[in-house]
Amino acid sequence: MSTTNPTFFDTNFVSENQQILLPILEEKKVALFIKREDLIHPIVSGNKFRKLKYNLQEAKKLKKKAVLTFGGAYSNHIAATAVAGKLVGLKTFGIIRGDELGKNLPQTIAENATLKVAQDHGMKFHFISRELYRQKSSFGFIEKMKNKWGDFYLIPEGGTNCLAVDGCQEILTPQDAAFDYVCASVGTGGTLAGLIKSLKKKQKVIGFPALKGNFLSEEIKKYTIKNNNWSLKKDYHFGGYAKYNKELIIFINKFKADTGIQLDPVYTGKMIFGILDLIEKDTFKEGAKILAIHTGGLQGIAGINNLLKQKEEPLINVL
Ligand SMILES: *Cc1c(COP(=O)(O)O)cnc(C)c1O
């Protein structure tokens, strides 16, 4: 396990664009590349690196000793914040949804790879009910946490704020101006907002929400008022956040066998499934060049595989 690397967030990572070769792409004369942001770090990968970068630099600048953030029990953001905090020398506090998980912590940790990674990197947890979780951003609750733990730098759920959007504007490079479309998975929309803001003329962003609902457009517009170079494709959430079916799992395994690229079932698997489905349905003109951002999230596979195992269903193949 990684320990400390105070300059980790000073690094300007430029991820490789890997061309995908599949018969459907040849048939439809569409070029698809995947930007391998997943390779930045095994846990602080993809957009989580981008979203944490300026937030952790800000926390340091403000001389904070700790950061506090929120998430579900399988949250990529929770795992990334814990590992990143350890790397740069900040304590981390995680407010986790689900008070039942706190009743027997050793058992919870034994069964949950995400929380184990977070705990192994020093994160302290506070488990709260789903009801209380809805009020987690209230002044009263934050004050209570300050009384419990002392001062901290607050990072919102999913890590999205203005500094996170700034970080996500560094995903695309000048060379990426050659693409017609940039695609990414959408959770809170922070990553998409950064991509939208860094787009060149004539390029378009397509977002693939990993969850149900119509609130995401509003969230994205908060950061991108002036832009209309983007759209959301809302048919690929597979039932909602962290929901999946056999078709998705089989797709992820087949894509891995065909291309060597591992996708996750919560975000990137749904996006690539959606892109290939849209290509199949002739949504893109001949000659179109598409860049899909691999936002990482591979740490979450262990948790889903645990659930699949309990249901005696086919697992996601990992190396
Ligand atoms: C968190 C996450 C997302 C969603 O990013 P937002 O900025 O919240 O929209 C997408 N993909 C992966 C792998 C993630 O971990």
Task: Give the tens place of pLDDT for each residue, 154-176.
Answer: 999 999 999 999 999 999 999 99
Task: Tell how far the Cα of 162 is from the centroid of ligand 1, in angstroms.
Answer: 15
pLDDT for residue 251 is more than 80: yes
In this prediction, residue 95 carries a pLDDT of 98
Predicted TM-score (pTM) of the model is 0.96
Task: Calculate mean pLDDT across residues 41-54.
Answer: 95
**Residue 35: half-sphere exposure toward Cβ, Cα within 13 Å:** 26
Q: At 70, which amino acid appears?
A: F
Beta pairing partners, 31: 289
Task: Tell how far the Cα of 188 is from the centroid of ligand 1, in angstroms.
Answer: 7
Domain boundary among 125, 159, 193: 159
Into how many domains does the chain fold? 2
In this structure, is residue 217 part of a structural domain?
Answer: yes
Task: Calculate mean pLDDT across residues 215-232.
Answer: 92
Q: Does residue 216 sit in the same domain as residue 111?
A: no
pLDDT for residue 204 is more than 80: yes
DSSP assignment, residue 123? P
In contact, 275 and 55? CB cutoff 8 Å: no
In this prediction, residue 2 carries a pLDDT of 54
> CA 132 to CA 32: how far, in whole Å?
43
Domain boundary among 135, 159, 183: 159
pLDDT for residue 55 is more than 60: yes
Domain boundary among 159, 188, 210: 159
Q: At 154, which amino acid appears?
A: L
pLDDT for residue 215 is more than 90: no
Q: What percent of the chain has pLDDT over 70?
A: 99
Ligand 1: residue of 295, 298, 301 to mutate (most ligand atoms within 8 A of CB) is: 295
Ligand 1 atom nearest the C-alpha of 80 is: 15
> CA 255 to CA 261: how far, in whole Å?
7
Q: Does residue 176 sit in the same domain as residue 28?
A: yes
Q: Which residues line ligand 1 (CB under 6 A)?
A: 46-48, 76-77, 158, 160, 185-192, 264, 267-268, 295-297
Q: Does residue 251 sit in the same domain as residue 305?
A: yes
**The Cα angle at residue 114 between residues 112 and 118, in degrees rounded to 5:** 115
pLDDT for residue 6 is more than 70: yes
For helices 190-197 and 46-61, angle between their N-to-C axes, nearest 10 degrees: 90
Q: Does residue 89 sit in the same domain as residue 118?
A: yes
In this structure, is residue 315 part of a structural domain?
Answer: no
- Rounded to 10 degrees, the C-alpha dihedral 268/54/79/141 comes to -110
> CA 149 to CA 151: how far, in whole Å?
7
Q: Does residue 141 sit in the same domain as residue 187?
A: no
Task: Tell how far the Cα of 34 is from the centroid of ligand 1, in angstroms.
Answer: 16
Task: Tell how far the Cα of 166 is from the centroid of ligand 1, in angstroms.
Answer: 15
Protein residue closest via CA to atom 5 of ligand 1: 187
In this prediction, residue 214 carries a pLDDT of 84
